[in-house]
Amino acid sequence: MSEKLNIAMLFGGNSSEHDVSKRSAHNIYDAMNKEKYNVTVFLISKDGIIINAEDSWRVFEGEDEDAIVAAAKDKMDMSNPLAPIAVLGEMADIDFFYPVVHGNLGEDGTLQALFRLLQKPYLGPGIAASAMSFDKDLTKRILNQAGVRNTDYVLLTDQNYQDYTYAELVKELNSNVLFVKASSQGSSVGVSRVTNEDEYKAALKDSFQYDYKILVEGALDKPREVFISILGNENPRASRLGGIVLPEDDVWYDYNNKFVDASGMVFELPVELDQSLTDEITEMALKAYKALGLVGLTRMDFMIDNDGVPYLGEPNTLPGFTNISLYPQMWEVSGISYTNLIDELIAYGIAEFDRQNKLSYDFVSLGEEQMGEKQYNAEVAK
């Protein structure tokens, strides 16, 4: 590696969180220590094509994305199945990949598999952990096996959803208020709060735009939402808790609150809870982090019911880094600056890469290992 690390920051993506990713990327770039890193940016277009660095910089600096992407694609052979990754040659000298791609591609294991093929270190969890944590159904199965409390749910698919009515789900989940969620989406995309059959049918239609697996959960009664940031690999650390107070007329933390208009929200940083409850949430978060095989970073979202019982909502393995994003803010109040946080995240990515490289992918039988290849082959030939 060169004296400065060559960092490739990928942003955009073909998910509904494309614009969120762009805002996160700007904040991260501004906070990066340029004395340590040479940073190159690569835009992933809304249709999933990695754009060359020169045009990506133009988009990053505010030029019209649609026009630049269209012009770049005109120069590409789009009949080539490798067109979406045709710019990989520009990444030959990259030392570290820093994905800032939320949702599809970024958090579902896809980009992680690409980085693995390129044999380069990268930010965040690996392929399997990313994929499992992005799928709410798989996440809940693992949490249940690990004994981490989360809300009850019914899994619907495009094959069985007609077997359930709103009334039947209300009875099964013991709640008149239901949340309908696309299993593999983030930032409250494809999520609806429903209180009757008509709303339920509309919510199914919306969620099935994003996934063929749908979770229906019973709502907790006016829960308090709190969040915790996790940082590290084998021995992860937890931040102080953060929280939000919604505007009086809002009943849940939806996409609009998160990314469109947060003006009516109050951020609690840090949140002061009873020490026993804080300890319980921290323990649950770290237990879930390890059960899911996560490394690098994750934000864990919790709900606390009226009896003071915490439930883990979901992990966010590449959380937002916008001006109002909670992950970096919770570390700020825990004593780690934005710039130092990025340094640590990169260091953890490199450490995990080095750890994985110690594994052997060539099969050597125990007999061959003990006897030596030449003697072992002679014995086998007898």
The answer to whether residues 210 and 189 touch, using CB atoms and an 8 Å cutoff, is: yes
How far apart CA 182 and CA 43 sit, in angstroms, is: 26
How far apart CA 358 and CA 176 sit, in angstroms, is: 52
For the record, the structure tokens of 261 come out as 């208009």
Residues involved in catalysis: 17, 187, 325
Q: Residues marked as binding for Mg(2+)?
A: 301, 314, 316
With CA atoms as reference, report the closest residue to 175 among 86, 305, 293: 305
How far apart CA 207 and CA 190 sit, in angstroms, is: 5
For residue 245, the SS3 value is strand
Q: Residues marked as binding?
A: 301, 314, 316
For the record, the structure tokens of 263 come out as 């003006």
The answer to whether residues 9 and 39 touch, using CB atoms and an 8 Å cutoff, is: yes
How far apart CA 178 and CA 199 sit, in angstroms, is: 10
Query: Phi first, then psi: what are they for 30, rounded to 5°?
Result: -65, -30
How far apart CA 149 and CA 200 sit, in angstroms, is: 26
The answer to whether residues 191 and 180 touch, using CB atoms and an 8 Å cutoff, is: yes
- Give me the numbers of helices (H) and strands (E) for the chain, helices first please: 14, 13
What dihedral angle (degrees, nearest 10) is formed by the CA atoms of 192, 197, 202, 204? 70
Tell me the CA distances in angstroms from 140 to 81, 231, 370, one per residue in order.
Answer: 35, 21, 43
With CA atoms as reference, report the closest residue to 7 among 120, 110, 170: 120
The answer to whether residues 199 and 179 touch, using CB atoms and an 8 Å cutoff, is: no
The answer to whether residues 202 and 244 touch, using CB atoms and an 8 Å cutoff, is: no
For the record, the structure tokens of 74 come out as 């005109």
What DSSP line would sit under 127-139, residue for residue?
HHHHHHHHSHHHH
For the record, the structure tokens of 152 come out as 């009850």
- Could you tell me what percentage of the chain is helix, strand and coil, using 3-state DSSP and rounding each to the nearest 5? 40, 20, 40
